[in-house]
Amino acid sequence: MRIEKQQLASINEQALPEHRESFAHLEKVLNNKGLQADQIVTKLKDFQVAVPSWALGTGGTRFGRFSGGGEPATLEDKIADVGLLHQLSQSAGAISLHIPWDIPGDVEAIKQLADSYNLVFDAVNSNTFQDQADQELSYKFGSLCHVDQAVRKQAVDHNIEVIKYGEALGSKSLTVWLADGSSFPGQLNFKKAFQRTLDSLQQIYASLPSDWKLFVEYKPYEPNFYSTVIQDWGTSHMLADKLGDRAYSLVDLGHHLPNTNIEQIVATLMMVGKLGGFHFNDSKYGDDDLTVGALKPYQLFLIFNELVDGMEDPSSSNPYPAWMIDASHNLKDPMEDLLQSLEAIRIAYAQALLVDRQALEEARENNDPTLAQEILQNAYRTDVRPLLAEARIQADGALDPIGAYRKLNVRKELIAARGAKSISTGL
C-alpha cells in the first residue's frame, strides 16, 4: 500500500488554517526569545530515525502474544510499512534490519524498493540470542562469551555474515546486542566471559569494513536474570575502547537499572567521542519497550538536551549517532505506536533545540540551580507541536500522522491484503 501525495494533502487541508495560526504564534513567541522557528524546522526535517524491521509486528511477552492482523511477513512488506510511516511522518527515513529474520533475497530489488520510499538501510543487527531451526550449535549458554570455542566461532561467523548483508544494502554499522550472561550465581566466570567476549568482538571488528562502525550494546538483565556480560555502559565502553576507533557504545533507554541517570551517561560517552548509537523506547519497570515518551517524556528531553549539546559542540569528536526506535507493541497497532514514538522523539529534540545554552552555562557558572531549571523548563513547557507539523507539511507529510493513518484505513487495507493471521518475525 502506498499513499498518494494528493490523499494526504486533502486530509491535511481542513486543519491547515489552524496549524498556520499556531505556527505563526509560536514563531513570534520564539522570535521574542531570539530563536528562529524556520531553522528549527529545518533541523527537524533533517532528523531521521530508523525503524527496525521487527517493530512492525505485534510484540509479546513470555506470557503470550496477541497478534493483530495484516502484519508484514516478508522483508518487502516490512519496507512497505516503514515507507508508509515515512510518508506520514517524514521522519522515518531508514530501516534497520535484523538477520536472520530479514535476509534479503534479491538485493538489488530490495534496494530499489527501499529507495522508492526514500528509505536507507541503517545499522544491521545480528541475532545470537535465539537458536534458529537450522543452527548447528545452541546459544542456550551464550554466544560470543561461550565456553566452547566452536559456539563462539559460529556466533562470530554469523556477525560477519550480517556485515556482508549490510554491505550489500548500503548499511554502515553493525549493532551487537548480546543476551550472554548467567541466571545463577556461580554459573559464569565473569572475567573469562569478558575476555572471551572481547576476543570474539575483536574477530568481528577485524572483518568490519573501514567505513563501518561497530556498536556494542549493554543491558543489565533479561533474558539472563543474574548477570550479563555487558551489564552497563562502563563495560561496553571498556570493550569499545579496547576494540578500536570504530567501536562505540550504544545506549538503549530501557537497558538501565532503576533510577539511572541516563543523560549523564550520554554526556560522558559523547565527551570521550564514544557514543555510537541510540535505541529509543520508554519503560516504567525494566526493558518494557513501550512507546517512546509514553512514561518519562521529561527524561527524554533531558537526554536530548545532552545529545544536542554534544552534536552542536564543534570541538566534539563524537560522530553523529545512529538513531533507532527499539520498542515492542503488545497492545497497540504497531504502526500507530511507531508514529507516536516518532512524534515523541521529535518533540524532545525540538524542545532541546529551544534551550538557551548560553544562558544555561551562565546559570551554571553562577551556581544558580533555580535559573538553570527555569531555562530547561521554559524550553520543555513550550508546545513545540506546530514546529513538527510544519516540518511534516513542508516535506509533504501528514499534519496529523495518526489521524491520517486512521482516515486512510491503513490497517484495514493491510489486513485485506495480507490476511488477519499474517504474523511478522520478531519478539
Question: Site residues for a second copy, window 261-280 (CB under 8 A)?
Answer: 261, 263-264, 267-268, 270-272
Question: How many angstroms separate the CA atoms of 370 and 359, rounded?
Answer: 12
Rg (C-alpha) for the chain, rounded Å, is 22
In the bound state with a second copy, the residue whose beta carbon lies nearer, of 47 and 194, is: 194
Question: How many angstroms separate the CA atoms of 413 and 276, rounded?
Answer: 38
> Can you tell me which of 2, 284, 412, 421 binds a second copy, judged by CB under 8 A?
284
Residue 187 interacts with a second copy (CB under 8 A): yes or no: yes
Between residue 205 and residue 234, which ones bind a second copy under the rule CB under 8 A?
Answer: 220-223, 225-227, 231-234
Q: Which residues contact 174 (CB under 8 A, 6 or more apart)?
A: 123, 124, 125, 126, 159, 162, 163, 166, 204, 208, 212, 213, 214, 215
98 strand-pairing partners: 125
Between residue 49 and residue 68, which ones bind a second copy under the rule CB under 8 A?
Answer: 59-64, 66
> Can you tell me which of 137, 168, 194, 423 binds a second copy, judged by CB under 8 A?
194
> Can you tell me which of 103, 107, 206, 331 binds a second copy, judged by CB under 8 A?
331
Residue 288 interacts with a second copy (CB under 8 A): yes or no: yes
Residue 260 interacts with a second copy (CB under 8 A): yes or no: yes
Residue 375 interacts with a second copy (CB under 8 A): yes or no: yes
Nearest Cα residue to 356 out of 335, 376, 329: 376
Residue 373 interacts with a second copy (CB under 8 A): yes or no: yes
Is residue 74 classed as helix, strand or coil in its secondary structure? coil
> Can you tell me which of 34, 133, 134, 191 binds a second copy, judged by CB under 8 A?
191
Structure-block grid coordinates of residue 308 = 544536542
**Which residue is it, cell 533507532?**
324
Residue 307 interacts with a second copy (CB under 8 A): yes or no: no
Residue 184 interacts with a second copy (CB under 8 A): yes or no: yes
Residue 237 interacts with a second copy (CB under 8 A): yes or no: yes
Q: How open is the CA angle 350-11-325, to the nearest 5 degrees?
A: 40
Residue 183 interacts with a second copy (CB under 8 A): yes or no: yes
Question: How many angstroms separate the CA atoms of 75 and 110, rounded?
Answer: 8
Q: How far is the CB of 144 from a second copy (least distance, A)?
A: 15
> What one-letter code names the amino acid at 211?
D
Report residue 276: phi and psi, to 5°: -95, -45
Total residues contacting a second copy by CB under 8 A comes to: 109
Q: In the chain, what is the straight-line distance between the N-terminal and C-terminal CA atoms, in Å?
A: 25
> Can you tell me which of 12, 91, 154, 291 binds a second copy, judged by CB under 8 A?
291
Residue 302 interacts with a second copy (CB under 8 A): yes or no: yes
Which of these segments, 23-31, 43-51, 96-104, 200-208, binds a second copy (CB under 8 A)?
Answer: 23-31
In the bound state with a second copy, the residue whose beta carbon lies nearer, of 122 and 287, is: 287
Nearest Cα residue to 325 out of 119, 56, 102: 56
In the bound state with a second copy, the residue whose beta carbon lies nearer, of 164 and 296, is: 296
> Can you tell me which of 13, 16, 29, 135 binds a second copy, judged by CB under 8 A?
29
> Can you tell me which of 216, 294, 354, 408 binds a second copy, judged by CB under 8 A?
294
Between residue 388 and residue 407, which ones bind a second copy under the rule CB under 8 A?
Answer: 402
> Can you tell me which of 243, 360, 398, 414 binds a second copy, judged by CB under 8 A?
360
Cα 142 to Cα 84, 98, 181, 272: the distances in Å are 37, 19, 7, 30
Nearest Cα residue to 211 out of 269, 266, 171: 171
How far does Cα 57 stand from its chain's mean position?
Answer: 16
Q: For the chain, how many residues are written? A: 427
213 strand-pairing partners: 173
Q: How open is the CA angle 237-257-330, to the nearest 5 degrees?
A: 105
Q: How far is the CB of 171 from a second copy (least distance, A)?
A: 23
Cα 172 to Cα 104, 239, 389, 405: the distances in Å are 16, 20, 30, 31
> Can you tell me which of 364, 396, 409, 416 binds a second copy, judged by CB under 8 A?
364
Q: How far is the CB of 244 from a second copy (least distance, A)?
A: 17
Structural contact between residues 350 and 40, judged by C-beta atoms closer than 8 angstroms: yes
Question: How many angstroms separate the CA atoms of 206 and 200, rounded?
Answer: 10
Residue 412 interacts with a second copy (CB under 8 A): yes or no: no
Residue 317 interacts with a second copy (CB under 8 A): yes or no: no
Between residue 114 and residue 173, which ones bind a second copy under the rule CB under 8 A?
Answer: 129-131, 138-141, 147
Between residue 340 and residue 359, which ones bind a second copy under the rule CB under 8 A?
Answer: 340, 347
> What one-letter code names the amino acid at 111?
K
